[in-house]
Structure 1
């Protein structure tokens, strides 16, 4: 991607994926206009800022934001490293169009791709970084495993994956970090979509341990990345708040 202020929205879904169900970040499609306001109130920006710092993106490096939603983590990465080349991936076309409008208002370059977390529409060794915030708890075990394999495939040797997601206590925490209070609309046909689910998602996108059957805890993410072939997978910190614990997990492609 050339360094410019170009904003692109691409639909890279296969014909088979056109009707594939996914869970909107706010739980219900009609709640999307309120999504950013609720994440601001919930203090999600602090999580994004910490994830972006932990990622350590260098000038000109390429970044894939998986489950980017309305683009908040992508914009945080660009605020930390303005020359980064960021691509956001999400199945929610409405959320991507909202992200595109925000990018144009900010005057930043951003590529937004409609697709799914278990199939990155990108060539091998395309990225220096893969980042994701509060997205993987939307996926079932097979989806998370596919995400890990795709992250490994599309990262260059030495590339890094940085994940922030809900997680329980872990014995391998290296840095307990700060308290902090987005989204991903991912394939999640097994989840309910009623009002209770939407309410769980709006304040802070919910409690993965009580609201979802597929908790993406820190230890589980470490094991997931290790099994996919990453080296030095580890939990590097966590944030505690009233809605639960968020683990920050990193790993490097050998």
Structure 2
């Protein structure tokens, strides 16, 4: 591992948040050891790489990965821009420990923070990017609104937020269509049925449909919120949505 690579886990929770419930990334706590294998099988890495490509992160920029889980989107950011300063945020301590082990094996610097999406661990106007992939549908409506407002607070003027999550119109609408019909993302249809109810029927998921993410970011005060691409697979439509903090 490079001497400059540093991996750490911080606890950003308040005393009142110690017992705050959350939905694990795999849907059930006992599935965590299998999570990375399942996401590889499902072609989720393709979605992560596409999100990073859309984000347009530049060398040295500060990035918060909200709902980072075991760190796969963070690692996609670092693969594209090794000098990016990445902080992963997730309430699941076990997932963060797994992300830390992976970061050490890769020899990359990564800060991991145990906390919730509605309180991003960053000073005002200090981030260049906020990114999130397949996590926002785990969050209830009130916390999702709070997340959008806090992301706006944490981003510098001109900073960007890029979200990949289930939702968007059934067809058409704002941006390119990524077709993975014969590629790795097609393998998502082979994931065990254990995971499908998490994505299809999670209580918060309804807010992501029908351009809900675009509306969420617009309400929070972001500029030019729009779907810029989407990917269709068995578990539903994944929309890639981007917006920016107004420059003034």
Judge same fold: TM > 0.5, yes or no.
yes
Give CA deviations for 1:183-229 in whole Å, capped at 9, x if unaligned. xxxxxxxxxxxxx984326xxx632xx44453213611111101101
Aligned alpha-carbon RMSD (Å): 1.8
Q: Which is worse superposed, 142-151 or 64-73?
A: 142-151
**5+ unaligned residues in a row in structure 2: which ranges?**
187-191
From 227, 234, 251, the counterpart of 2:243: 251
Which residue matches 1:177? 178
Determine helix, strand or coil for the equivalent of 1:77: helix
Kindly tell me the number of residue pairs found equivalent between the two proteins: 233
Deviation at 1:159? 0.2
1:39-188 alignment, distance < 5 Å:
39-169=39-169, 172-179=173-180, 180=185
Which residue matches 2:231? 239
- 2:68–2:90 contact (8 Å) kept in structure 1: yes
The answer on 1:206 being equivalent to 2:199 is yes
Determine helix, strand or coil for the equivalent of 1:22: coil
2:46 and 2:172 map into 1 onto residues whose CA distance is 24
**5+ unaligned residues in a row in structure 1: which ranges?**
182-195
Deviation at 1:171? 5.2
2:35 and 2:46 map into 1 onto residues whose CA distance is 16
- 1:218–1:249 contact (8 Å) kept in structure 2: no
Runs of 4+ in structure 1 deviating by more than 6 angstroms, as ranges, are: none
Which residue matches 2:10? 10
- 1:64–1:127 contact (8 Å) kept in structure 2: yes
Give TM-score scaled by structure 1 length. Answer: 0.87
Deviation at 1:81? 0.7
Which residue matches 1:191? none
2:142 and 2:204 map into 1 onto residues whose CA distance is 13
Determine helix, strand or coil for the equivalent of 2:205: coil
1:211 and 1:91 map into 2 onto residues whose CA distance is 17
1:213 and 1:238 map into 2 onto residues whose CA distance is 20
Which residue matches 1:224? 216
1:136 and 1:15 map into 2 onto residues whose CA distance is 24
2:210 and 2:99 map into 1 onto residues whose CA distance is 28
